Amino acid sequence: MAHQSLSYYTGKKVFITGHTGFKGSWLMACLHQAGARLKGYALKPEYDGLFNLLEPLHIAESIIADIRDKDRLQKEINSFQPDFIFHLAAQPLVRRSYEIPAETFEINVAGTANLLEAMAGLRSKCTAVVVTTDKVYENKEQDLLYREDDALGGYDPYSASKACTELVVNSFRNSFFNINGYERHQKAIASARAGNVIGGGDWSKDRIIPDIISSLQGGEDIRVRNPLAVRPWQHVLEPLNGYLQLGILLDTKPALYSKAYNFGPLPEDHLTVKQLVGAVLAGWGSGNWTDNSDPKQPHEAGLLKLDISRARNELNWGPRLSANQAIEWTINWYKKDPKEQTDYSFQQIKDYFAL
C-alpha cells in the first residue's frame, strides 16, 4: 500500500502489547498489510474476536504473557530489538475497575513502567507510542473540549490509572528519554488519548456495540445504561491511523512530537448513547431498546468531548469517517458471514487508507 502511514512500516520491527485485544488486533492487521515484522505480547484473548480470526494467518510472533511479568517482558523486547513499540495492553473497562481497583492500577501503571524500563535498556533506536484514553482528564461534566494540557484526573479507578500512566510516560520522557540527550539514547515516546472506538470484531464485556449486536442476534431488547451520555465515538481505524502517523513523525523528528495527542471525532460529531443506538438499529434494520439506567450503578462520565486540534495541526491527522459512517462500517462487519470476516477486515483497512 502506498499510503505513507502504512508504507513507512514496511520491513520495520514492531512490538505491540495488547495485540490480542480489539484495538491491538486491528493494529496488527494494519501493520501486516504494511509488511511490518510483528511481535505481540498480551494475555490470551477474553473472547472470540478479531484476534482469533487473524491467528491462523500467523501474522505475528505471539507471546501470551502478562505485562506485569517484568523479566519476561524485558526478555521478549530485548530478543526482538524493535524499531517501534505500540503499548496497548491494559485493563480497559471502567466498570471492571470498580471490581478490581488495585489490579487495574497494577496493570495500567506498573505495566507501563515495566515496558518503558525495558525500552530504556535497548541498545538500538526505538520509538514508542503509549496508548491511554480520553478519560485521563479531570472531567468537569461540562460542555468543554478537553485539551492535552488540561488537568489530569480520574473519578473511577480505570480513568485515574490511565492519568497515572500519563505521569509515568512523562517521568520516563524526562528522566531516561530526555530529548536533549536523544543523540545518545535514541529513544522517543509520545502518548495517545483516544475516544470511544467502535468497529468489527469487538465482543468485550460492557462495551456498547458488542452488547447491542448480542441482543440483536438473540432477538432481545437492547438494555441501555446511560442513554443521554455523550461520547467521542469513532471507528477503530481512526485512532490507529493517528498512532501510526504519530509513530512516523516521532521517529523522524522526536524533539517536535514527544508529547500527548488527542484522537477523536470532529467537535460537532459527538453522539449520545441514544443516538448511537438509534443509528445501529437503523443500520441493522430491526430491534428495540429500553432505558436501563440505574442510579445505584457505578459512576461513569456523562459528558466527554475531546479537542483534536493538536493532532489535526501537527500530525495532519483528522477523522475520515463521520460517526454515522463509523457505525455503518461496524454494522456491515457484523452482518458478514464469520468465514468472510477476516478478508473483510483487510478490505476495510484498504478502503479506509484509500479515503
DSSP-derived secondary structure for 310-321: HHHHHS----SS
Q: pLDDT tens-digit profile of 327-342?
A: 999 999 999 999 999 9
Residue 296 pLDDT > 90: no
Distance CA 279, CA 296 (A): 28
CA distance 45 to 47: 6
Encode pLDDT of 265-283 as tens digits. 998 898 889 999 999 999 9
What's phi and psi for 301, nearest 5 deg?
-55, 140
Q: How far is CA 242 from CA 191, 293, 345, in A?
A: 11, 34, 18
**Domain residues of the chain, as ranges?**
4-197+235-269+307-323
C-alpha–C-alpha distance, residues 236 and 189, integer Å: 22
**What average pLDDT does the chain have?**
94
- How far apart are alpha carbons 355 and 351 in whole angstroms? 7
Q: Cell for 323?
A: 460517526
Partner residues linked to 192 by β-bridges: 131, 261
Asked if the 4-197+235-269+307-323 domain carries CATH number 3.40.50.300, the reply is no
Q: Tell me which of 204-208, 241-245, 303-307 is least confident.
A: 204-208
Half-sphere exposure of 159 (CA within 13 A, CB side): 19
What is the pLDDT averaged over residues 118-122?
Answer: 98
- Cα 332 to the chain's mean position, in Å? 21
Distance of CA 312 to the CA centre of its chain: 18
* Mean pLDDT (whole number) for 112-117: 98
The predicted pLDDT at position 2 comes to: 36
The phi, psi pair for 147, rounded to 5°, reads: -105, 160
Grid cell, residue 312, equals: 489535526
pTM for this prediction = 0.95
Cα(51)–Cα(233) distance, integer angstroms: 22
